[in-house]
Amino acid sequence: MNTLAIRANRRKLLILLALVLLCAIGYMLLDVNFSNPKLLAYAMKIRTPKLIVMLITAFAIGGASIVFQSIINNTIVTPCLLGMNSLYTLIHTAVVFFLGSASVVAINANLSFAVDVVLMGIVATVIYSWIFKKTKHNVLYVLLVGTVLTSFFGSIQTTLTRVMDPNEYDSLLNTLVASFNNINSEIILFSLVLLIGIVVVLRKELALLDVLTLGKHQAINLGVDYDRCIRRLLLGVTLCIAVATAMVGPISFLGLIIANLSRQFFKTFRHSQLVVGSALFGMIVLVGGQLIVEHIYTYSVPISVFITVGGGLYFLYLLLTRKKV
Amino acid sequence: MMKIQELTKQYDGKTVVDGVTFTIPKGKVISLIGPNGAGKSTVMGMISRLIAHDSGLVHFEGKDIGKWKSKELSKRLAILTQSNNIQMKLTVRELVTFGRFPYSGNRITSEDESIINQAIAYMELEEFQDRFIDELSGGQRQRALIAMVIAQDTEYVLLDEPTNNLDIYHATNMMKTVRRLCDELGKTVILVLHEINYAAFYSDYICAFKDGKIAKFGTVEEVITKENLSEIYQVDFEILTIAGKPLSIYY
Ligand SMILES: Nc1ncnc2c1ncn2[C@@H]1O[C@H](COP(=O)(O)OP(=O)(O)OP(=O)(O)O)[C@@H](O)[C@H]1O
Ligand SMILES: [Mg+2]
């Protein structure tokens, strides 16, 4: 029974992986002009970094969302719903604001990202662990505070941008915040190294995720150094969100969709499967979605709009069908 | 041996555990009794490192409890808390398997499997072992949680109201299991009980709490008397002696 369920889930993972490959191949090869090598090379040059960015983003958001949900023991919140991506955008804007848009830090994408990541790691861990403590993990409070923080960070960021250059407000906003039509592919290598580093450094804590979901007291009873473990995992989550937001900008509901799809699809407590499943779902949604956006809607509607609308509805559905909060 | 000295805990300036001092003898069954809010669960939490204490000492097997590595402690001391809400999709067997986590992590050995089977058999959970715990009755879930603690196979077993939700058949069985854990396997079992007669029939020592303090601590015969119980609970008691044990009647 037990092993049967595990084997069934392995098969499901393979199916998802196949779908990801299908989307990726479709994305790379659809509408490519094979007869003209120059056009072919051009298409590849445009599409390859974009595909890589989407895959990395999906992994970062998918993994971070599952881990975050398990840390605070609730499946209707994600780091982005609590404003973590707005915080990152704010930090990035503030760094450019205070150092000046012509400074070395602002011009060098990797250096700027490094500064952002360090600040994000410190600020976000402090803010969010403080919130958890103050609200005693009460999800409704956490959600409420998170919503307030999201608009709070957002307004400060807009204000900073307006102060910087009121005339070029729109274009400035565009250069400061990435989006799917304006991805930040310069930091691919840095992000990859960072994500791998996070997984390696946190491998012990990641192995404790299954036990953590039994609740604080059970986890301590089973020998987990609870506070330290939560702190380290939370740091990992904030860095993952930093990577994703730096590359494609804020996409609030993506994490919620893919984490819950993964939980519903695999129906297990095993985080090895949940995390990988969530990442794979993310890749399907992003790459498949972008494929549709580029070829059917010919860029007229950005993918983030679909994700926000779909995610919003899905969030309502999750809230309304829950037996208890 | 576990030595507890002057243990104190305050919540929002209110002292809920006040200078509690007692020694838990090894290889015995000790029951904590007392009215609601007397501080029993808080004491259980503090002596098992789940709750931080404000002052006092908890000396466990030669070392202060705070000096133990959490991992090492989890192989020697297991606790079932009063309330448990597990949100995950988990079968009974998977839950019980977590009891082996301190020893084997996520990789379960065949020796672990046999201990898990034994724990499931102790709690008569064979027919439920593949059911999800959120689809069980309260009593069945309680038994699954106790099975997990048994699978943890520690010298010290702390159970906060283990008979909660159990019918009299399973509650009696639970108490017999506690006796077996002590007599056959040499474990020290510390229980919180509201059923005074279970405490009187199945324990070696009784520790009665009132208002955060120890009102009485001693052998069953010393503590279960008409005067003591009336004073602790503010209810009239009669004591009968059945099978050499003091049976209390209250009304
Ligand atoms: N986390 C907490 N915050 C504030 N007060 C608390 C907390 N936990 C317990 N208390 C208070 O401490 C006192 C002792 O609580 P405790 O749970 O130890 O009682 P108990 O003897 O186990 O009672 P019961 O028989 O009802 O389980 C109570 O007055 C309770 O209100
Ligand atoms: Mg209690």
ipTM of the complex as predicted: 0.91
Lowest mean pLDDT among A14-23, A154-163, A168-177, B40-49: A168-177
Residue B237 lies inside a defined structural domain of this protein: no
Provide the domain count of chain B. 1
What average pLDDT does the segment B37-62 reach? Answer: 94
Task: Provide the residues around ligand 2 (an ion) whose CB is within 5 A.
Answer: B 41, 82
Look up residue B144 and give its two tokens. Answer: 């699954």
Q: Ligand 1: does its nearest atom lie under 6 Å from the Cβ of B82?
A: yes
Residue B158 lies inside a defined structural domain of this protein: no
Query: Is residue A214 a contact partner of residue B86, using CB atoms and an 8 Å limit?
Result: yes
Question: Using a CB-CB distance cutoff of 8 angstroms, which residues of chain A are in contact with residue B85?
Answer: 215
Which residue, A160, A130, A126, A167, is CA-closest to A145?
A130
Q: Are the beta carbons of A225 and B72 separated by less than 8 Å?
A: no
pLDDT band at residue A32 using 50, 70 and 90 as cut-offs? confident
> For residue range B182-215, what is the model confidence (pLDDT) as tens digits?
999 999 999 999 999 999 999 999 999 999 999 9
Look up residue B101 and give its two tokens. Answer: 């986590």
Question: Using a CB-CB distance cutoff of 8 angstroms, which residues of chain B are in contact with residue A218?
Answer: 81, 84, 86, 98
Look up residue B159 and give its two tokens. Answer: 């159970």
CA of B231 relative to ligand 1 center, distance in Å: 21
Q: How far apart (Å, rounded) are the C-alpha atoms in residues A284 and A298? A: 19
Continuous H helices in B65-122: 70-73, 92-98, 101-104, 110-122
pLDDT value at A230 more than 70: yes
Query: Is residue B93 a contact partner of residue B121, using CB atoms and an 8 Å limit?
Result: no
CA of B133 relative to ligand 2 center, distance in Å: 23
A131 CA to chain B: closest CA distance, Å?
A: 19
CA of A71 relative to ligand 2 center, distance in Å: 26
Q: Are the beta carbons of B87 and A74 separated by less than 8 Å?
A: yes
Nearest chain B alpha carbon to A272: B106
State phi, psi for B127 to the nearest 5 degrees.
Answer: -70, -15
Which residue, A176, A185, A195, is CA-closest to A47?
A185
pLDDT value at B224 more than 80: yes
Residues of the domain holding B125: 77-153
**With pLDDT > 90 as the criterion, what percentage of chain A qualifies?**
52
The pLDDT value given to residue A323:
61
Residue B104 lies inside a defined structural domain of this protein: yes
pLDDT band at residue B124 using 50, 70 and 90 as cut-offs? very high
Continuous H helices in A202-302: 203-207, 209-212, 216-221, 226-248, 254-266, 271-283, 289-295
> For residue range B147-194, what is the model confidence (pLDDT) as tens digits?
999 999 999 999 999 998 899 999 999 999 999 999 999 999 999 999
Distances (CA, A) of B152 to A6, A173, B40, B139: 24, 56, 23, 20
The pLDDT value given to residue B22:
93
What average pLDDT does the segment B12-17 reach? Answer: 93
Query: Is residue A192 a contact partner of residue A165, using CB atoms and an 8 Å limit?
Result: no
Nearest chain B alpha carbon to A73: B87
> For residue range A114-141, what is the model confidence (pLDDT) as tens digits?
999 999 999 999 999 888 888 877 778 8
Q: What is the pTM of this model?
A: 0.89
Q: How far apart (Å, rounded) are the C-alpha atoms in residues A255 and A83? A: 12
Q: If you compute the radius of gyration of chain B from its CA atoms, what whole number of angstroms results?
A: 18
The pLDDT value given to residue B158:
96
The pLDDT value given to residue A233:
95
Which residue, B234, B137, B238, B156, is CA-closest to B197?
B238
State phi, psi for A69 to the nearest 5 degrees.
Answer: -60, -40
pLDDT value at A80 more than 60: yes
Q: If you compute the radius of gyration of chain A from its CA atoms, what whole number of angstroms results?
A: 20
**With pLDDT > 70 as the criterion, what percentage of chain B qualifies?**
100
Q: How far apart (Å, rounded) are the C-alpha atoms in residues A34 and B91? A: 54
Distances (CA, A) of B251 to B204, B225, B236, B237, B246: 26, 15, 6, 7, 16
What average pLDDT does the segment B225-247 reach? Answer: 90
pLDDT value at A202 more than 70: yes
Residue B28 lies inside a defined structural domain of this protein: no
Query: Is residue B40 a contact partner of residue B192, using CB atoms and an 8 Å limit?
Result: yes
Q: Are the beta carbons of A214 and B73 separated by less than 8 Å?
A: no
Task: Give one word for A302, left, alpha or beta, with left for phi > 0 and alpha for psi -120 to 50.
Answer: beta
The pLDDT value given to residue A324:
52
CB nearest A221 (choices: B78, B87, B88) = B78
Q: Say whether B21 sits in a helix, a strand or coil.
A: strand
pLDDT value at A325 more than 60: no
Residue B110 lies inside a defined structural domain of this protein: yes
The pLDDT value given to residue A212:
92
The pLDDT value given to residue A274:
95
Q: How far apart (Å, rounded) are the C-alpha atoms in residues A78 and A142? A: 11
pLDDT band at residue A174 using 50, 70 and 90 as cut-offs? confident
Atom of ligand 1 nearest to the CA of B35: 25
Residue B29 lies inside a defined structural domain of this protein: no
pLDDT value at A97 more than 80: yes
What average pLDDT does the segment B126-145 reach? Answer: 91
Nearest chain A alpha carbon to B46: A217
CA of B216 relative to ligand 1 center, distance in Å: 19
CB-neighbour burial class of residue B179 (10 A; exposed 0-12, middle 13-18, buried 19+): middle
Residue B103 lies inside a defined structural domain of this protein: yes
Residue B240 lies inside a defined structural domain of this protein: no
Mean residue pLDDT across chain B: 93
pLDDT band at residue A2 using 50, 70 and 90 as cut-offs? low
